[in-house]
Amino acid sequence: MIMKILKDIKNLIAGMGITGKHLGRHAITIQYPEQKWEMPERSRGIVVLLSDKESGELNCTGCLLCMKACPSAAIFVDAPRDPETKKRNLISFTVDNGLCCFCGLCEEACNFSAIKLATMYEFSEPEREGFIWDMKKLQEVGIDVDYIDTRKKKPVKKVVNPAAAPNPTVDKPATEKPTAEKSPEEVKPAAPPVEPDKPKEDGA
């Protein structure tokens, strides 16, 4: 019994010694919520939807790759295919943050820079339903999230106006000066060529 008490006192002194070493120094932990931690760029935070930087429209095409890659079934995308154009029409996009394990597989599977794990960690809710974010909420939170657009955009074809194209028979460069036509009297015939002197023959 006495040995146990002495051991406890020894452990208490050791703990107080560690506390004494850091006494008076600056705080190591962040004083939340007055101070907030800035997450690194590649951190796995909250899932958001990305928008085009120019038009502001969602980059999502409804390909369902993120939903198929999610191991916890936290993503549900409703994007039926149009029978005429064969393209998907994005109707709804839902993420259940209560089921999300923040693995990042959805971001890796996306080929259109449409989804990202943003550097945000403040999304606590008092009710369970608050963790389910719809497409509007996902776009609203991710509207200011910076990202590298890796989509392959089609080059814009330049339309040439035929009326504005220069006509070589009419339009002449400004540097070219028109040559004046000469009358037949002014045109002098070329002088005949001068034949070289022939050597004289002997006895001539």
Q: Is the pTM of this model over 0.85?
A: no
- For residue 102, being part of any structural domain is answered with yes
What is the CA angle 115-120-126, rounded to 5?
105
> For residue range 13-43, what is the model confidence (pLDDT) as tens digits?
998 988 888 777 777 788 788 888 888 888 8
- For residue 201, being part of any structural domain is answered with no
| Domain extent for 61 | 30-142
**Placement of tokens 């996009």 in the chain:** 93
CA atoms of 120 and 100, how far apart (whole Å) = 14
Residue 150: pLDDT band (50, 70, 90) is confident
- For residue 192, being part of any structural domain is answered with no
pLDDT at position 196 is 58
Burial zone of 85 (CB within 10 Å; 0-12 exposed, 13-18 middle, 19+ buried):
exposed
CA atoms of 160 and 155, how far apart (whole Å) = 15
Q: What value does the mean pLDDT take over residues 80-98?
A: 93
- For residue 125, being part of any structural domain is answered with yes
pLDDT at position 11 is 92
Percent of the chain with pLDDT over 70: 74
- For residue 10, being part of any structural domain is answered with no
- For residue 85, being part of any structural domain is answered with yes
- For residue 134, being part of any structural domain is answered with yes
Task: Give 189 or 153, the one with higher predicted confidence.
Answer: 153
pLDDT at position 24 is 77
Q: What value does the mean pLDDT take over residues 192-204?
A: 55
pLDDT at position 23 is 79
Res. 47: pLDDT tops 60: yes
Q: How many domains does the chain divide into?
A: 1
Q: What value does the mean pLDDT take over residues 47-73?
A: 94
Torsion of CA 169, 172, 176, 179, to 10 degrees: 40
* CATH code for position 39: 3.30.70.3270
- For residue 183, being part of any structural domain is answered with no
pLDDT at position 12 is 93
CA atoms of 59 and 91, how far apart (whole Å) = 14
